Amino acid sequence: MDGLTSQQIRDADLADWRKLALALHARFRTGDFASGLRFVTALTELAERVNHHPDVTLTYPHVDLRLISHDVGAVTQRDIDLARQISELAREQGVPADPRAVTQLELALDTADLAAVGPFWAALLHGDPDAASDGPDIVDPTGQLPTLWFQSTEPHETPRQRFHVDLWVPYDVAEGRIAAAVAAGGRVVDDSRAPSFVVVADLDGNRACVCTFLDV
């Protein structure tokens, strides 16, 4: 099964879900722990029936869900189908969705030599230098650490900032988040790749990217 394009995901019109870096994300406001547990229990039964399982985070006021086809490493039609069923389950239980609340933070490191620096960061973060050998990012399977991904650059003198944060937000949140950052003293450095990402900076020049899954 192939991964879906950004346009195919938008055309699916999943009102409760937003795609961030790689996966579909949703937040359902259960309001209390007991209601959240009931929702997760019903969700577990659904996932077992269809043999496709979301990543679930249960907290007191809400349940966060992440859907991706791990065998493909992308969002596929089975994720779309399960997302619809989960939304229907939430409606049956009276649990509202809050799609604009989902976010994802990644760390990005500029490097011209991934082979040289990748094993160090993999060993530091996970104790396994080979964790960086499968691609340009290091993903914590337990979800405790943000993804570290390596942005390819040409060799250059060491700049003031090699690390930056990538903040993934829903596409309908990005403009307001950028405006809030500017109003708080920041500035837009580069919006030439919007709506895919916009580079912003604080007063000291430290940069961050506000990212959406939309293509340029």
Asked whether the predicted pLDDT for residue 169 surpasses 90, the reply is: yes
3-class secondary-structure state, position 10: helix
- Average pLDDT (64-71) is 95
> What would the two tokens of residue 62 be?
């809400």
User: What token pair was written down for 198?
Assistant: 């916009």
Q: Is the pLDDT of residue 162 over 90?
A: no
Grouping H, G, I as helix, E, B as strand and the rest as coil, residue 188 is strand
DSSP 74-99: B--HHHHHHHHHHHHHHHHTT--B-G
Q: Which two tokens stand for residue 19?
A: 């795609």
- pLDDT > 70: what percent of the chain? 98
Q: Give strand pairing partners of 164.
A: 108
pLDDT(160) > 80? no
**Mean pLDDT within 61-68:** 97
Question: Chain-wide mean pLDDT for the chain?
Answer: 93
Question: In the numeric block, which tokens belong to residue 123?
Answer: 């060993």
pLDDT at 138: 87
Listed in sequence order, the residues at least 6 apart from 188 whose beta carbon sits closer than 8 Å to its beta carbon are: 178, 182, 198, 199, 200
Question: Is the separation of the CB atoms in 67 and 24 below 8 Å?
Answer: yes
pLDDT tens digits, one per residue of 84-100: 999 999 999 999 999 99
The answer, yes or no, to whether residue 1 has pLDDT greater than 80, is no
* Residue type for position 188: V
Instruction: Look at residue 158 and tell me whether its pLDDT is greater than 90.
Output: no
Strands annotated E in 20-99: 24-28, 55-58, 63-67
Residue corresponding to tokens 């499968």: 134
Question: CATH number of the domain at 6-100, please?
Answer: 3.30.1360.20
Per residue in 98-156, pLDDT (tens digit) is 999 999 999 999 888 888 888 999 888 888 888 776 678 888 877 788 999 998 888 88
Task: Return the pLDDT at 104.
Answer: 95
What pLDDT score was predicted for residue 134? Answer: 66
Give the residue range(s) of CATH 3.10.180.10 domains in the chain.
104-211
Q: Where are the domain boundaries for CATH 3.30.1360.20 in the chain?
A: 6-100
What residues are paired with 107 via a beta bridge? Answer: 148, 165
**Fold observed for domain 104-211:** 2,3-Dihydroxybiphenyl 1,2-Dioxygenase; domain 1 (3.10.180)
